[in-house]
Amino acid sequence: MPRDGAVIAAARTTGGHDGNAALVLDVRYPNGAIGEITLDGGTGLLLMAFCGADDAAALVGQSWRVLQSAVLGRDEFVHGTGE
Amino acid sequence: MFDVVIKNGRIVDGSGLPGWNGSVAIADGRIAAVSGAIAGPARQVIDARGAVIAPGFIDPHTHFDAQLLWDGQARPALEHGVTTIVPGNCSLSLAPLKVADRRQLVGMFRQIEELPDAAFEEGFTWSWESFDGYLDAIRARLGINVAPLVGHSVLRLWVMGAASQQRAANSEEIRQMQNLLRACLDAGAVGLSTSFVDVDEHLQPVPSRWAHVEELEALAAVLGEHGRMLQVVPEFYNTDITIARVDQLADYSLNYGIPTTFSPLFDSVATPNNVTRVLRRVEEQFARGARVWPQVQTRPIDISFCFGLPSLFFGRLPRWFRVMRLRTDEKLQALRDPDTVAKLLDDAGPDGGAAVFGRLRIRSVPGGDLALVGRLLVDVAGERGITPARCLIELSLEHDLEAHFVAADMGHDVAARVGPMLAHPFVHIGASDGGAHIASFATYGDTGYLFSKFVREAHSLSLEAAVKKITSDTASIWGLNMRGLLRRGYAADVVVFDPNTIARADEVAVHDVPGGGMRYIRGARGVQSVLVNGELAFSAASGYTDARSGEIAPLN
């Protein structure tokens, strides 16, 4: 775990209030506490792109700071590359 | 001579008391008698044999603000038995609004309600700036009762203009907002709505989100002068912040003597402790004497997607996810490439995608091919002799990536969990969002679903308790005067329904939004007659009537 803060401990998809798939993250803090945050579809997709993740499970272990970057830049969705 | 007598039904009067056999008489828009036997002639007699006679349902969370300007019956809400609606939620109302600010507000409505620009250009003529001017604009064609909220974002926009989305307000601006809110409340607003979540069409926070706590508290103080409601969209994506908002609302409630309500609050296997934790704090605040009503919806959450846009639905299928994030031309090329398709099929699992895609329905395709729309993907795949995963790809290619699919029951769908929530004494059944998200899913029929799923199937509530939850409880929470009960002298808002069949119908796409826009709706099943202020507004036999007997709901 990075010394400077919390990390993503788990990631799963769910149904969002707006009818789009959403992303639920468990964030583990340095003191062991776990918080839960739900990202709407747009923000979740940007987070996946920002982290270069093709699978929500690949977010596990990332610093909480990637969330900040995704939220701040959610109107600049970056396309990934396909097979 | 009565105007209407509804006879031989089972009276479920909204009080929660056991139903009994009787009749309801109506005169001059009010309930004249509720009795086992009503003597005297009537101009119109409705036979309710085998059916329930109940107060009209009240929907406390809608966004019909614009629709009411071209459709005063808020279709299809009315045919579900809803006789009173609360528009203006989530910080947005259509008044008060200066002419110069119309464009900006339309952008917010477009983002949140998914109403196309054409609806605002072709659906009505702007004729107001003030709140009472807007009420005048909708009043003449009202076929449903309206208890309108005024939006905090709109107050800010009026007072601060573009700065409403740039900074906190100063003391003079707050004072002006207070005066503006007073005028709206005097005109008939049922309260104030605000949001800590919503964004405009540029994904920028709506004006209410720029307010400092002093501003919201100052507006709560004005609500206290009238004892009116504060409706809030909290940061529902995080349980801890939502709980902090419960505490904030409780303080306003206690300090200013106002009711407060917040939504959405919904259950999910992905967030299993969310509702439980929030309700525990709500209970603590009610024990202090505060009124903080969480609104919980009845319907499950469905999610939809098409291959034209990326979706987190594929968040656990890495190869599919990678393809969906490609540009359209690259995506088409990938889906036509045998090697890529082979990898996708492999990713879908040895069952050919039956487990991950088996519950998908084909929601819409360009042209609306009736041989496809509404059908399970697995059935269409079976007819074609291919796996569901390959069928998903084929259908998407056949329709240029514009085939839309829906995955039903992706949240708030476990009746054993949701039922007790709905029955909880501090839970306010609502959050339908009627009139919003119109191009994404149908926000109508939650009342029918309450009866079909949680009364008949799961037995979470009795029939009488369910009726009370969406009639007299709602009227009491919001301070609606003389509504929500079948009592002599009360407004004659009445619904007659078959308790054995009332339900929501399947979701369908219609193109009835002014300017040719599309929306998803659901019709009603089992609702026989709906009366608004004593006039028959809808019957299953004849459909909608020409009655325009709705009113701006008087408040306590």
Fill in the DSSP letter of residue B448: H
The residue in chain B having the minimum alpha-carbon distance to the alpha carbon of residue A40 is: B237
Query: Can you tell me the mean pLDDT for A15-39?
Result: 91
Which residues lie below 8 Å from residue B55, measured CB to CB, with a gap of 6+? B13, B14, B467, B471, B472, B483, B484, B485, B486, B490, B493, B494, B495
Contact A82 B340 (CB under 8 A): yes
Task: Report pLDDT for A73.
Answer: 62
Mean pLDDT value across residues B180-186: 98
Nearest to B218 by CA among B176, B262, B174: B174
Q: Which chain B residues are Cβ-neighbours of A45 within 8 angstroms?
A: 310-312, 325
Q: How far is B181 from chain A, CA to nearest CA, in Å? A: 29
B546 by Cβ neighbours in 10 Å (0-12 / 13-18 / 19+) ranks as exposed
Task: State both tokens at B484.
Answer: 């929500």
pLDDT, tens digit (0-9, with 9 covering 90-100), for B499-524: 999 999 999 889 899 988 889 999 99
Cα distance from B453 to chain A (closest Cα, Å)?
Answer: 20
pLDDT tens string B280-301: 999 999 999 999 999 999 999 9
- Does B343 sit within 8 Å of A19, measured CB to CB? no
Residues in A lying within 8 Å of B, measured between beta carbons: 11-24, 35-42, 44-45, 48-49, 54-58, 74-75, 77, 79-83
Exposure on the CB side of residue B348, measured as CA atoms within 13 A: 22
* Concatenated DSSP letters of B67-97: GGGT-TTTTTTGGGTEEEE----TT--S-S-
Q: Are B529 and B496 in contact, with CB atoms under 8 Å apart?
A: yes
pLDDT computed for residue B484 by the predictor? 98
Q: Mapping DSSP to helix (H, G, I), strand (E, B) and coil, where does residue B378 land?
A: helix
Tell me the chain B residues in contact with residue A24 when contact means C-beta distances shorter than 8 Å. 268, 270-271
Q: For B42-96, what is each residue's pLDDT tens digit?
A: 999 999 999 999 999 999 999 999 999 999 999 999 999 999 999 999 999 999 9
CB count in 10 Å sphere of residue B218? 18
Cα–Cα distance measured from residue A18 to residue B135, given in angstroms and rounded to the nearest whole number: 29
Contact between chains at B323 and A83 (C-beta distance less than 8 A): yes
Chain B window 284-343: which residues touch A at a Cβ cutoff of 8 Å?
A: 300-305, 310-313, 315-319, 321-323, 325-327, 330-331, 334, 340, 343
Query: Nearest-CA distance from B537 to chain A in Å?
Result: 31
3-class secondary structure, B146: strand
Taking CB atoms and an 8 Å limit, are B237 and A21 in contact across chains? no
Give DSSP secondary structure letters for B492-522. --EEEE-TTT-EEEEEEEEEEETTTEEEEEE
Q: Where do we find the tokens 């002093």?
A: B214
The predicted model gives B385-404 an average pLDDT of: 96
User: Does the ipTM exceed 0.85?
Assistant: no
Strands B57-59 and B82-85: what pairing? parallel
At B533, is the pLDDT very low, low, confident or very high (cuts 50, 70, 90)? very high
Which residues, in sequence order, are CB contacts of B95 under 8 Å at separation 6+? B128, B129, B130, B131, B133, B134, B135, B150, B154, B184
Are the beta carbons of B312 and A22 separated by less than 8 Å? Answer: yes
User: What's at B429, amino acid-wise?
Assistant: I
Report the candidate in B244, B170, B247, B232 with the shortest Cα–Cα distance to residue B198: B232
Report how many helices (DSSP H) and strands (DSSP E) chain A contains, helices first.
2, 3
Reference B112, options B84, B151, B79, B140; nearest CA is B151
* Both tokens assigned to B23: 């009749």
pLDDT of residue B337: 97
